[in-house]
Each structure stands twice: as C-alpha cells, then as structure tokens.
Amino acid sequence: MSDQGRRPTRLGETGLEGFAPYLMNRIMGRYNAEVRAALGQNGLSTPKMRALAVLSVVPAPLIRELAVYAVTEQSTLSRALDQLEAEGLVRREADASDSRATRIHITAAGLAVFEGLWPHMIDAQDTMFRDISDDERQAFLGTLQKMLRNIRKHEF
C-alpha cells in the first residue's frame, strides 16, 4: 500500500527538498546548463543537440517520433532540423510508404559532432552522481525507468 488514507501533503511540510519534481527540475536545470555551455561553440542549441543525441541511437525516426524522444515541441524540432540539415549534420528523407512522413538520418558529420559532445554529457552526469554508489545509482535508474513507463503516452 502506498498513500492510502494520507491527506495530501502541503509543500510547506516537506519543503522544496522533499518534493521530487522540484529536485528533478533543479538538478536538470544545472545539468542542461552544463551541457549548453559545451554547445555554444559548435553553434548548437539544446533542441539541436537533443536531436543529434537521439539520432545517434535511434535509426531514421519520423519527425514526430524524434520530437518525443528529444523532448522537444514538434515545431521547434522542425526548425532545428532545418538548421541541422543546412549544416549537413542530418538528412531528411521521404518515408517509403507514407509520403506525408519524413525520416531523419544522421550524417557522419552529425555523428562526429555528437561524439565531441558526449564526453561533456558524461562529465555532467558523473558530477551529479559523484559519491553515489553503483548500487544506489542502479536503483535510482531503475526507478526512473518505472517512472517513464508511468508517464509515457507513446509506445516508446
């Protein structure tokens, strides 16, 4: 049993630091800022970086899929892709069976840019987890995965 019969907590009772979404926003705020600092040089923005990151792992998604994976509004992503394409980092390619749809392919150059970025993301992550044991970290990750399943509205 979890919450049964408990009255809703007031924010004041636990304080900000007892409210998980607050902590997560706060932590991600710093993580994203950290990564963004590494982006500036390459002329990348957060949406562009996120698109590249997903594309380095997910092959040829539709734009709407990419938008979900990359946690980016579709219209924002559309424009980010314009730029990435102009820079030769991705390629738009018409879907074979649905001519409304476009699949996005990352280019070798795009992959190279992402690989230059990845170490910064790892660093930022390692900073977050500094002095947290592998076991605790693993458990944390497990909970995150359950949470994603809970909130997810798509099959991916």
Task: List the beta bridge partners of residue 91.
Answer: 105
Residue 104's beta-bridge partner residues?
92
d(CA 123, CA 114): 14
CB of 14 to DNA, least distance (A): 26
SS (H, E, C) 20-85: HHHHHHHHHHHHHHHHHHHHHHHCCCHHHHHHHHHHCCCCCCEHHHHHHHCCCCHHHHHHHHHHHH
Query: At its nearest, how many Å lie between its own copies and the CB of residue 12?
Result: 6
Q: Report the SS3 class of residue 120.
A: helix
Using CB under 8 A as the binding rule, whether residue 95 contacts its own copies is answered as no
- Closest residue by Cα to residue 42 from 93, 117, 108: 117
Distance CA 42, CA 49 (A): 10
Which of DNA, its own copies, none is residue 80 near (CB under 5 to 8 Å by kind)?
DNA
User: Does the protein bind DNA through residue 46 (CB under 7 A)?
Assistant: yes
Contacting residue, 102, 106, 113, 114, with DNA by CB under 7 A: 102
Q: For residue 154, give the amino acid letter.
A: H
The distance of closest approach from Cβ of residue 99 to its own copies in the complex, given in angstroms and rounded to an integer, is: 29
Nearest distance from C-beta of residue 138 to DNA, angstroms: 32
Q: Between residue 30 and residue 69, which ones bind its own copies under the rule CB under 8 A?
A: 30-32, 53-54, 56-58, 69
**Site residues (vs DNA, CB under 7 A):** 36, 45-47, 62-65, 72-76, 78-82, 92, 95, 98-103
Binding site for its own copies (CB under 8 A): 2-3, 8-12, 15-32, 53-54, 56-58, 69, 71, 118-119, 121-122, 124-134, 136-137, 139-141, 143-148, 150-153
